[in-house]
Structure formats: C-alpha cells, structure tokens
Structure 1
Amino acid sequence: MIHVADFTDLSQLTIHKVGNLGHDEPLILSQSPLQLSDETIGNLLLNYFIQPFVKNAEYFRFMHDADIQLNEVYKYCSLIFEDSTVFHDQSINIAKHLYKHSTHPKIKGGELYIVHFSKVQVDGEEVEAIGIFKSETRDTYLKVFLQQDNYEVNYEDGININKLDKGCLVFNIESEEGYKVSIVDSISKQNEAVYWKDAFLQVQRREDNYHQTETAVTLCKEFISTHLPGQYEMNRADQIDLLNKSAAYFKQNEQFDMNSYAEEVLGNVDAIESFKDYREQFQRDYRLDIPDEFEISAPAVKKNQRDFKSVLKLDKNFLVYIHGDRDRIERGYDDLANMQYYKLYFESES
C-alpha cells in the first residue's frame, strides 16, 4: 500500500515540457532542477503526485524481450539510484524517450515532472523512489480579487492538482527483476494511452499475490459463467449462487487453496474435476501459472468484486439482486401463462 505520508523527502524535482512529436510540437528541457523554497507548494505538489497512487496495490516491473538493460526508463532510473548527482541529466533522457513515443495524433503535450524521493516507505520497507508524472489536461479557474474596494473577477489557465493524468513510481527494490513499479493512467481505456505503459515504460505485471488473486478471480468467474452451464443444465439463479459462494470464499479467507475452494464452492465431484481441467486449459490459453495456494490480496478482491455479479435479469422488465440462500428461490413454468417464473420467499420487506 502507498500513502502520501510515506513520501517525506522530495529531494530533487525537474520539470520539462513534452509536446506531440507527430504534430511537430517542441520538447522544452529545463536547464536545472527546480529549487523548492515554499513549503506549501512542496506539499501541494506531493499531494498531486502521490494521492492518485493511494490504495493502489497493483505493481508492475520493467521488462525487455532481450535484456532488461535495454529498457530505457529502467536504465535511466538505475543510473539515478547509483548516483543521484546525475539526476537532472537522466531526467532529460527520460523526457527525450517519452517525446520519441509521443506520436499518436490524440496524445496531448504537457508538463513532465521527474522527482527523486530519497526516503520513502513502501510495504513497510524504506527505500529510494523515482517519480515520473505527466499533466496533459488544462483547466480554467476563476480568480476573484479585491481592487479599490470592489471585487473583480478574472480567469487563468492552470493544472488541477486533483487530476494527475499519468504517473509512475519506481521503487528501488528488486532491481534485477525490473524494480517494483506502480502506475497511474487516467485515460488508460483509450487506444492512444497504451503508449505510456507499453511503449514508454515497457512494463508487465509482477507475479505477486495481487496478480495471483486477480487471476484466480477471473478463472473462477469464467468457469461458473461460461464453462459450467455448457456441461450441466444450470439456470441463472444457480450460477449466481455459485458466484456468491465464490465471492464469500475470497472475502472470508486469507489463503487461497485450489482444492478447498473447489470443495466448498462447487461440491459436486464431476464439477470439481471439470474445474481442474478448465484451470489447466485456462493456464495454457493465457500463458499463466496459477499456484495451488497463495495469500489472498484484499485490495485485488475489492477491485474485482464486480466480476461476481449477483443480478438476475428477467426479460427487460426485472432485475433481481441475489445475495445468498438459494433455497429461498423457486423456479418453475406456468402452463396457463405459457411463461417461466421465479418465486421468492422472504420474512420482511423494507
């Protein structure tokens, strides 16, 4: 977990302007690091940089198909960690590298902030960190001021410190494996945004308990929602019952055990065997390795809880939310109405 209070020492900061190379916009490089003398501005910048990462428990690592040393951002960060006096020169290299990949017509130019944190706490460990942040969105602010006993109104262009567009924190941990990296990308769903994570940073998810939990959630959801109904006669209410049991398993247990999950949630011997076969196929299809046991990541469960949807949709007329006790739902067919029905049993309503 990352907390703003853990970033107590912002030792160096440089700001560059990175335009869109495809639009012939310029790359403007600062000649020296910014000297922060105002404590208030320093605290505002710290909050602007770090707040988007709070409660972000998902980590990545730098990668390269041939040699990790050929990953440019990894190399520049490594040089700073080895000798902080080269910080500004390497910040220029980072800006040039980003500029080279800023060619998509929809990429916006903006300020690039490179920060060296000499002392931070991450997951209980005190380390150095390098922050790479980019602001692309400009906002208009009203400025109300007093002039000759009357209030006047004007406006000015600026950056909203509550909306970081793109960010990356590189922690000086496990350098040989590509460091521990946290990423923020506020427009990651847009096609042009892949340049930040894939082209510029070149990172992939770390194989930690967050990733393992997220993968296991997907495996269980896909098996119940798509594979199991094809093997057995199963209505939507039965599927939701299994999804609810799966959600409860991930929320109530600290450790995931493949066998105990199958027995507690699925129960049926044939379904358990089918689940084991599906897991093997799932790992082959997605080139993943899902261990038999691992520690469940609560943040990963919270983020992916929507995968266990407990909504029963009946034509376009009804949405029934089912949160448990499958025995209180009865499904049948009305010959007179020539329609299917659900009967719900309850003790009180509110």
Structure 2
Amino acid sequence: MIASFEASMSQLSIHRVGNKLQDEFYILSDEPMGITDEVLNKLLMQYFLSAFEKVNEVYHFMHSSELNLNDMFHFAGEIFNDQARFHEVSQQITKYLYDSTNHPKIKSGELYVALFKDVQLEGELLDAIGIFKSENKETYLKVFPDKGGFNLEYEENGINIHKLDKGCLIFNADKAEGYKVLVIDQTNRSNEAVYWKDDFLKLKIRNDSFNQTINTLSIYKNFVTQKIDEEFELSKADKIDLLNKSMKYFKDNDTFDMDEFTGEVLGNPQAIESFKTYKQQYEQDYETEIASTFDISDAAVKKQGKVYKSVLKLDHNFHIYIHGDKKLIEKGFDDDKAMNYYKVYFKEEA
C-alpha cells in the first residue's frame, strides 16, 4: 500500500513498556535518538516501513461518542500540530500503551515512536507518525576471520529487522474522519493480542471498495460456514459450492449488487433473507455499514481467495478439491460398509 523510496525519518524516540499485571513498569528515555549512521538509518527504515508495503486495509480512529476523546487521535494531532513536542508526546503514548496492557500474557518490549516525511500513500506524499513495538527477541551468530581460520560469536536478545511484531502508521490526512491509519499485528493469534488495534489504537476500517469487498466476502463466508447450519441441512460439499459461487460472482463482475448476488449465489428466498439478517447484525455489532452496491476491488478478491477453502477432507485418507460443477459429485451411504461415500463424475484424467 505504501511506497517509501522518497521517505525519510526526522525524529525517533525509544521507550520500554512492561506488563502492569506482571508488576513490570515502563521506562521513558530522556531524549530522542540522534541517528547519524546512514547504515543504521536504512536498517531502521527497512524494519519500520517494509512490512507496510503489502498492507491494503486503511483504518480510521474512532470513538463511540466523540472522536477527540480517542487518545491516540489526540496524541497524533498534537504531534502534527507541533513537531517540537514530538518526544514529550511519545512519552505520553508510552504511558497510554502501558495502561492499555490489560492481559497478563502481553509481552513487554521496546516502543519506537518515529516521525516520517514523504511516505507515499494512495499516490500522495504525507507526513506520518510510526508507532512500533518489538516483543520477540532472537539469538544471532556472527562469523569472523581469526588466526588463519574463522571464529564464532553470538548475541542474544537481538531484533530481526525482517519481523515487525506490532506497528501502525498514522498519516496526516483525513483528519475529520480520524486520520488514515495502517496497522500490523503479527502476534495477533489469541485474545490477549487484540489490545493493540482495539484497546490501544481503537480503529475502525475505512469504508472504501477494498474494505467493502473484503467485508462482504468475509461475512458471506462466516454465514456459510457458521450460521447456515442453524436453518438448513447442508453437506460440506454444498457449502464449498456456495463459497465457490460467491467467489465466481466477485471475479466475473466489476460491481457488486446485493439483490443480484444473493439471487445468483443463494437462490433460496429463505436463505437470502437469513443472509441479509446476518449482514445487518454484523453492521450493528461492528458499527460498519456494508453498501448494497459498490465497485468490486480485484486486490480484495485475490486476498480473500486465499482463505476461501474448496477442499473436502475425508477422514485422513482423501482430499477432494471442488472447483467446478457441484452436480458432478454425489454423496451416499453404503449400508454394507456402514460408511459414507462420494461419487465423482469426470470425462478424462488431467
């Protein structure tokens, strides 16, 4: 999503955030970092920004009652309005993250707050505030010549610059909507990790064509895999067929139309009504409106295609990949063997 070949880092402050539930504390640096080494500066730029080059989702800060009450929106505004206060505000951000650390399993780590110039987002060069947290440390080996041969040293608790644990970029654009924000959370694998995006940043996804496409495909996938069983009796093959139909619709069309989509993909009036009700509940729960019509994003379809499963797993013996006409596969039960079976029709082997 971003391009950083013209970007530069004008300020950097480093602090440390512990876990208050583990009786750990935060440590604030007295002064910002002065980076004079060009190689170190390039390594930091790579560490901070390279992971965002593949991030497509744009978020906005949000608050249930008043946007100005979102702490991170407030801090970002203070820095953009007066860059001389950068280090002071970075300390306030560190304290706020510490207060947001509300699960005993959240790891302590260093917090980097950086100010960038000329980061390109959606064709526009913008100032951006970067907030990054390193939680996972690694051990590195160093090989060097020694007495006609080689020797080894190691360094513990090093940081892999190719693995950014957590980060966000806040761009000085769309302030009235809550600024443009990109976010990364590589350790978001369990409930304790959602604090970064939900508790600390408090973000909502921007409602553009990319996110409309992502959300609609995600809602439909969850409906088919989790909800539809409550009202209809469907085999796994039937569910895969419904998922394949939806993906085909999004690949074949430039514009999404809710009535057209549900008619082509679901067909059954009861199933259509059930899906629309499910969609409305999602909109209420996440305070996000999904439009009835919108332009389909090819990038979003490609991304969601990776998580749409078309594999029918049968015990530990067979995997059937279903990509085409579901009518060419039949399910039955063999009374003699007391086992289910699938019958597959085809013209020739590939």
Q: TM-score range by the shorter chain?
A: 0.7 to 0.9
Deviation at 1:285, TM superposition (A): 5.5
- What is aligned with 2:81? 82
Q: Which residue matches 1:19? A: 18
Give the distance between the partners of 1:333 and 1:100, measured in 2 at CA: 58
Distance 1:76 1:238, change over 3 A: closer
| TM-score calculated relative to the size of structure 2 | 0.88
Which residue is equivalent to 2:3?
A: 3
Residues 281, 87 of structure 1: alpha-carbon distance in 2 compared, 3 angstrom cutoff: same
Task: Tell me which residue corresponds to 1:289.
Answer: 289
Tell me, in whole angstroms, the C-alpha distance in 2 between the residues paired with 1:183 and 1:226.
27
- 2:160 counterpart SS class: coil
Could you tell me which residue of structure 2 aligns to residue 131 of structure 1?
130
Paired position in structure 2 for 1:259: 259
Q: 1:308 to 1:106 in 2, by over 3 A?
A: closer
Aligned residue for 1:36, secondary structure, equals coil
Q: Structure 1 pair 96/217, CA: closer, same or farther in 2 (3 Å)?
A: same
1:1-350 alignment runs, 5 A limit = 1-5=1-5, 8-102=7-101, 104-157=103-156, 158-225=158-225, 234-266=234-266, 268=267, 271-272=268-269, 274-284=271-281, 286-287=283-284, 288-306=288-306, 308-332=308-332, 340-350=340-350
- Partner SS, residue 28 of structure 1: coil
Kept after mapping to 2: 8 A contact 1:63/1:178: yes
Q: Give how far 1:226 is off.
A: 5.5
Aligned partners of 1:217 and 1:304 also within 8 Å:
yes
Is the Cα–Cα contact under 8 Å of residues 4 and 120 in structure 2 kept in the other structure? no
- 1:36, CA displacement in angstroms? 1.9
Query: Structure 1: how far apart are the matches of 2:149 and 2:59?
Result: 54
> RMSD value over aligned CA atoms?
2.6
Q: 1:278 to 1:151 in 2, by over 3 A?
A: closer
Shift of 1:131: 0.2
What SS does structure 1 have at the residue aligned with 2:2?
A: coil
Conserved 8 A contact 2:220-2:275 = no
CA distance in 1 between partners of 2:128 and 2:144 (Å): 40
Q: Are 1:23 and 1:103, in contact at CA under 8 Å, matched by a contact in 2?
A: no
Q: Is the 8 A contact 1:10 1:116 kept in 2?
A: yes
When residues 154 and 72 of structure 1 are mapped into structure 2, their CA distance, relative to the original with a 3 A threshold, is same
Report the Cα offset of residue 227 of structure 1.
Answer: 5.7
Structure 1 residues 216, 33: closer, same or farther in 2, change over 3 A?
A: same
How far apart, in 1, do the equivalents of 2:2 and 2:174 lie? 17
Structure 1: gaps spanning 5 or more residues: none
Using the TM superposition, give the Cα deviation of residue 328 of structure 1 relative to its aligned residue in structure 2, in angstroms: 2.9
Greater shift after overlay, 27-36 or 233-242? 233-242
Q: Which moved more, 1:126-135 or 1:300-309?
A: 300-309
Equivalent residues of 2:223, 2:278 under 8 A apart: no
Matched-pair contact (CA < 8 Å) for 2:263–2:272: no
Task: Write out per-residue CA displacement over residues 13-63 of structure 1, whole angstroms, 9 at most, x where no aligned residue.
Answer: 121222333344343322322222222211111111112222211122212
Q: Judge conservation of contact 2:2–2:119 (CA < 8 Å) in 1.
A: no
2:3/2:119 contact within 8 Å kept: no
Q: Distance in 2 between matches of 1:236 and 1:17?
A: 49
How many residues align? The count is 346
Q: Alpha carbons of 1:203 and 1:154: their partners in 2 closer, same or farther (altered >3 Å)?
A: same
CA distance 1:265–1:202, shift in 2 (3 Å)? closer
Partners of 1:189 and 1:233 lie apart in 2 by: 32
* Alpha-carbon distance in 2 for matches of 1:349, 1:61: 51
State the TM-score, normalized to the length of structure 1. 0.88
% identical aligned pairs: 46
Q: Does the 8 Å contact 1:256/1:296 carry over to 2?
A: yes
Structure 2 unaligned segments of length 5 or more: list them. Answer: none
Separation (CA, whole Å) in 2 of partners of 1:242 and 1:303: 18
- Deviation of 1:245 after TM superposition, in Å, equals 1.6
Tell which deviates more after alignment, 143-152 or 231-240.
231-240
1:113 is displaced (CA, Å) by: 1.0
CA distance in 1, matches of 2:11, 2:282: 45
Whichever residue aligns with residue 261 of structure 1, its letter is: F
Q: From the superposition, tell whether residues 236 and 106 of structure 1 become closer, same or farther in structure 2 (CA, over 3 Å).
A: closer
Q: CA 1:146–1:277 in 2, change beyond 3 Å: closer, same or farther?
A: closer
Contact 1:219 1:279 in 2 (8 A): no
CA distance in structure 2 between the partners assigned to 1:303 and 1:199 by the alignment: 26
